[in-house]
Chain A
Amino acid sequence: MKDWKHGRIGDKKRFVSRLTFLICFLCFSSWWKYAYSQSQSTLEASYRSADALYQDGQYQQAAEKYEQIASSIQDGAVYYNLGNAYFRLGNRGKAILNYERAKRLMPRDKDTNFNLKVAKARNIDSFDLVKPFSGFSLLYGALRPNEIVWVGLIPYWIAAISLIAIQFIQNLRFQRALRYVLLIGGIGWLFSLLLLGLKIREINLPYAIVVANEVTVRSEPDFGSETIALPLHEGTKIQLQEERNDWVKIYLPDENSGWLTADAIEKI
């Protein structure tokens, strides 16, 4: 009886604590949602005003607005419009930089890919100084990282459901079929994780765009060192190897490398 009473009191306490947690959670989530929607609407208002500036031909002001928005939110459309604004300003390097950023977030967007090509066609250097990456890029190149995650979740959940179902199903044949589904789902999930890893690795590669009109490639991070290659021009894509003070080391063809001043480039 005592135990019963004790148990009942324990149940009540547990119920109250659970209810308190639920209320707190709901309050927090609604506050967070409200705060998020507020900041979202502010950003969207800024975005609209930046678009209006662009339409009026005030590209400099539009670019500044877009830059502000881009510092708060990582959205492909913002980078795309920012690239357009810089292109109109004749700042091809910054335009290419922002199209590249937009392309990371919207790899299948036709406008972004087209504008990037148009901008790059105006480059003085007709090459990019980047090392070729994995051959798997054909599989994941057109997907965003979170899309790979979602694609991978499908076989993952199928595998999990199969595993749960096996626990309950008595039919031997059905059980065997579920085991195959489990195997295939598991392999699919692991493959998606592999692709995700490669995609993230590629995204994290230190690519940059030359934003200065012209920059000299030197053998050492020193203005007194010799020039080892032709100068690079605005808009050329490069891959960084090392960063030291105000200098960056870049890849050059044939396993060579050279140094540029860091202010001449901007990381994608």
Chain B
Amino acid sequence: MGTKEVLDKVFERSSVWRVRRSFTLHVLRFVLLVSVLYSNAAYSQNITVSADVTPKIIGINETATLRVTISANQQLGNIAPPQLKALPEFNVSHGGSSSQYNLTGNQISVSVTWTYMLRPKKVGQFTVSDIRIPHGNKIYIADPISLQVLPTSKKPLQSESTQDVFTDPFSSSTHKVEASVDNLRPYVNEQIIYTFRYLYTDRIPSFNSPKYTPPSLRQFWTAELERKRAQRQVIDGTLYWIEEIRVGLFPITAGRVTIEPAKLSLPLSTGRGRPQSSNVLITNPVEVDVRPLPQEGKPTNFVGTVGQYRIHAQTDRQTIEAGDGLTLRVQASGTGNIETVPAPTVPTLPNMAIYDPQITDSIGVVDSKVRGSRTYEYVIIPSKEGDWTIPAIDYPYFDPQMESYQVARTVPITIDVLPNPNGVVGTTPAHTTQSDLHLLKQDIRYIKPDSLKLSNQPLQPHKHVSFWVVQALPIVAVLSVWFYRQRQAKRDPKQLREQYAAKNALQIIEDAKTHSTAQPATFYGTLANGLYQYIGDIFDLSPGGLNPELVRQRCEVAGFPESAIVQIVDTLTQCDYVRFAPVATNPTDIEDMLNRASASITEIEKERQLKI
């Protein structure tokens, strides 16, 4: 019984379903077809399991990476991680897993990779085997792999791998470097292009960028070439990003020259926090066989110029007076190492002095070829009138494309040298610096205008009265003010008292000393008078109306230092006390009183001086 008949039997008696019978029939047919196809595909899917360890030889302190991969040409669904047999010789740590899904034409390929870090515990030859991955009803087993552990590490712990390919275990991206030149048999001084290529399937997840270390290129002149943007290219079925660094090289000497490998330090993957050595990719060395320039056909005036060149010469003027300078501008332009091109030889010219040229370069890179122009500016000074000709200037070079010597040539230039109107030609200046030569071609600037106001500009100002007047004026002004203040003080009794307050007070204190031992009461009285006199003079008060408290108030208002106020008030209080209630005093007390009185006056005077 076919499918159609079965369905007919199921639906034949149901009037409701009968309406949609035809549609449902089609749907069921489609479902059956898909399931049949799926079952066929399941039977035909090709599942493989592989294991790989890198590197295969490690030191006892190093770590190997074990990668177990299951791949199929259909969806794998949920897959359990690999079952590893116990590896007692290693410390095993899981480094994560990654999966890849590729669709090429109608073909699907799926792979899942688990990464493990193996750190050896002992030395020896070991086999990692019995790696199983169960899937569906089957168990898939990877081929055994061997790993050798050496007693000593050839490299330090943070070592560099010396390879040109690296696969990042975390991102599963592949990184490769390579180096090449476009011409392995160049001539001396012929440009070749050295290309360093960095190929990668994906960037390493890191904050840092790969670091390029160029090879030593001491046997070449070098020129930086234009940089291309990263490009994508499929190589052996894998899509790579390609970045290039290109350098123009001009071999200096003939013979076999080896360009040492270039290096690319890849950054460490971030985010995993697992121990890992940094990876340095190293290119292959490149051997170049530099050919010497042929002797055959070499011009006698050849100076080693290689490339393709043109030459052009012109002067800044055709007519000149004898003794004046003109500029001969010779420009060599073309393709080649223009920076090392020697100056063309200008023939010796009778009655003309030719100076060393000033050189200016204009160099660039076009289509990865170094090209540009170099201009030589010669200053020529004719010393005699007449029609003189600068003959053609030869510029021989070797053309590596034609593999023969060529000569570029300028057109002769005729100069009409007129007699010097001043009749001065004489000897030629002996300067050779570029700035002097430049000045030789310059004329002087024009005279100052006649609208100018002439004035005497003294070179010796100190010999003029005005100098001394302006120097003396400030002194006179200051002295005048000082005298004015003095005079004002003399006219004003208050100021006069203020001015001589300290002097008078100290004089009175000095007098008090004479009574110090014989008549203590007189001594204290005189001392108190002196101090009251002093305070009275300062504040324009009568000394008779003062007492220690009033003195304190006045001094505080005036802003005198607190220490001075205390001293002077204490002294006055003590003086009054002794005056009106005599007690026995000794010379030390008297001396102390004198010192305190003097000190307080000195301190107050200092403060007053600051204010004056």
User: In the assembled complex, which residues on chain B have CB atoms less than 8 Å from the CB atom of A164?
Assistant: 477-478, 481
Given contacts A115-B444, A167-B481, contact A175 B610 (CB under 8 A): yes
Chain B window 464-497, contacts with chain A (Cβ cutoff 8 Å), 1 for yes, 0 for no = 0001001100110110011001000000000000
Assess whether A163 is in contact with B478, with CB atoms less than 8 Å apart. Answer: yes
Interface presence of B103 (CB below 8 A):
no
Instruction: Pick the contact of A145: B427, B448, B460 (CB < 8 A).
Output: B460
Instruction: Pick the contact of A196: B436, B445, B449, B461 (CB < 8 A).
Output: B461
Expressed in whole angstroms, the minimum distance between the Cβ of A103 and any Cβ of chain B is 12
Of B45-53, B94-102, B450-458, the stretch lying at the interface with chain A is: B450-458
Interface presence of A33 (CB below 8 A):
no
Interface presence of B439 (CB below 8 A):
yes
User: In the assembled complex, which residues on chain A have CB atoms less than 8 Å from the CB atom of B460?
Assistant: 145, 200, 203-204
Interface presence of B422 (CB below 8 A):
yes
Chain A window 56-93, contacts with chain B (Cβ cutoff 8 Å), 1 for yes, 0 for no = 00000000000001000111111011001101111000
User: In the assembled complex, which residues on chain B have CB atoms less than 8 Å from the CB atom of A196?
Assistant: 461-462
Expressed in whole angstroms, the minimum distance between the Cβ of B566 and any Cβ of chain A is 21
Interface presence of A160 (CB below 8 A):
yes
Given contacts A121-B431, A163-B478, A172-B611, contact A145 B461 (CB under 8 A): yes
Instruction: Pick the contact of B456: A48, A75, A80, A163 (CB < 8 A).
Output: A75
Which of A44, A51, A122, A196 is packed against the most chain B CB atoms within 10 Å? A122
Interface presence of B6 (CB below 8 A):
no
Q: Whole-angstrom distance between the alpha carbons of A184 and B455 in the complex?
A: 34
Interface presence of A117 (CB below 8 A):
yes
User: In the assembled complex, which residues on chain A have CB atoms less than 8 Å from the CB atom of B459?
Assistant: 74, 104-105, 144-145, 200, 203
Interface presence of A259 (CB below 8 A):
no
Instruction: Pick the contact of B447: A81, A118, A172 (CB < 8 A).
Output: A81
User: In the assembled complex, which residues on chain B have CB atoms less than 8 Å from the CB atom of A75?
Assistant: 454-457
Assess whether B431 is in contact with A114, with CB atoms less than 8 Å apart. Answer: no
Of A21-29, A134-142, A149-157, the stretch lying at the interface with chain B is: A149-157
Assess whether B457 is in contact with A80, with CB atoms less than 8 Å apart. Answer: no
Expressed in whole angstroms, the minimum distance between the Cβ of A109 and any Cβ of chain B is 9
Chain A window 205-242, contacts with chain B (Cβ cutoff 8 Å), 1 for yes, 0 for no = 00000000100000000000000000001000000000
Q: Whole-angstrom distance between the alpha carbons of A21 and B442 in the complex?
A: 60
Expressed in whole angstroms, the minimum distance between the Cβ of B432 and any Cβ of chain A is 8
Assess whether A88 is in contact with B422, with CB atoms less than 8 Å apart. Answer: yes
Assess whether B456 is in contact with A160, with CB atoms less than 8 Å apart. Answer: no
Interface presence of B430 (CB below 8 A):
yes
Expressed in whole angstroms, the minimum distance between the Cβ of A5 and any Cβ of chain B is 24
Assess whether B485 is in contact with A167, with CB atoms less than 8 Å apart. Answer: yes
Interface presence of B105 (CB below 8 A):
no
Interface presence of A9 (CB below 8 A):
no
Name the CB-closest residue of B to A77. B448
Expressed in whole angstroms, the minimum distance between the Cβ of B483 and any Cβ of chain A is 11
User: In the assembled complex, which residues on chain A have CB atoms less than 8 Å from the CB atom of B470?
Assistant: 149, 153
Given contacts A80-B447, A164-B481, contact A126 B436 (CB under 8 A): yes
Assess whether B474 is in contact with A80, with CB atoms less than 8 Å apart. Answer: no
Interface presence of B584 (CB below 8 A):
no
Expressed in whole angstroms, the minimum distance between the Cβ of B454 and any Cβ of chain A is 5
Q: Whole-angstrom distance between the alpha carbons of A73 and B471 in the complex?
A: 25
Instruction: Pick the contact of B454: A73, A84, A126 (CB < 8 A).
Output: A73
User: In the assembled complex, which residues on chain A have CB atoms less than 8 Å from the CB atom of B458?
Assistant: 74, 145-146
Assess whether B457 is in contact with A54, with CB atoms less than 8 Å apart. Answer: no
Q: Whole-angstrom distance between the alpha carbons of A126 and B442 in the complex?
A: 17
User: In the assembled complex, which residues on chain B have CB atoms less than 8 Å from the CB atom of A105?
Assistant: 457, 459
Name the CB-closest residue of B to A197. B462
User: In the assembled complex, which residues on chain B have CB atoms less than 8 Å from the CB atom of A81?
Assistant: 447-448
Name the CB-closest residue of A to B559. A172
Interface presence of B403 (CB below 8 A):
no
Interface presence of A256 (CB below 8 A):
no
User: In the assembled complex, which residues on chain A have CB atoms less than 8 Å from the CB atom of B462?
Assistant: 196, 200
* Residues of B401-420 contacting chain A, CB below 8 A: 420
Given contacts A89-B422, A172-B610, contact A149 B444 (CB under 8 A): no
Given contacts A78-B454, A167-B482, contact A159 B474 (CB under 8 A): yes
User: In the assembled complex, which residues on chain B have CB atoms less than 8 Å from the CB atom of A76?
Assistant: 457
Assess whether B450 is in contact with A122, with CB atoms less than 8 Å apart. Answer: no
Assess whether B454 is in contact with A40, with CB atoms less than 8 Å apart. Answer: yes
Assess whether A149 is in contact with B455, with CB atoms less than 8 Å apart. Answer: no
Interface presence of B443 (CB below 8 A):
yes
Name the CB-closest residue of B to A66. B447
Assess whether B445 is in contact with A111, with CB atoms less than 8 Å apart. Answer: yes
Q: Whole-angstrom distance between the alpha carbons of A123 and B446 in the complex?
A: 20
Assess whether B450 is in contact with A48, with CB atoms less than 8 Å apart. Answer: yes
Assess whether A47 is in contact with B444, with CB atoms less than 8 Å apart. Answer: no
Assess whether B452 is in contact with A124, with CB atoms less than 8 Å apart. Answer: no
* Residues of B189-228 contacting chain A, CB below 8 A: none
Interface presence of A119 (CB below 8 A):
yes
Interface presence of A125 (CB below 8 A):
yes
Interface presence of A245 (CB below 8 A):
no
**10 A-B residue contacts at CB 8 Å?**
A74-B456, A74-B459, A87-B444, A90-B422, A106-B457, A111-B448, A118-B442, A124-B430, A160-B478, A175-B610
Give the interface of A toward B (CB within 8 A): 40, 43-44, 47-48, 51-52, 54, 69, 73-78, 80-81, 84-85, 87-90, 104-106, 111, 114-115, 117-119, 121-126, 144-146, 149, 153, 156-157, 159-160, 163-164, 167, 170, 172, 175, 196, 200, 203-204, 213, 233
A-B complex: 8 closest residue pairs judged by Cβ atoms: A160-B474, A90-B424, A121-B439, A90-B422, A77-B448, A51-B450, A48-B450, A81-B447
Besides A69-B454, A203-B459, 10 more A-B contacts (Cβ < 8 Å) are: A51-B447, A78-B454, A89-B422, A118-B444, A121-B429, A122-B429, A122-B440, A126-B436, A145-B460, A146-B458
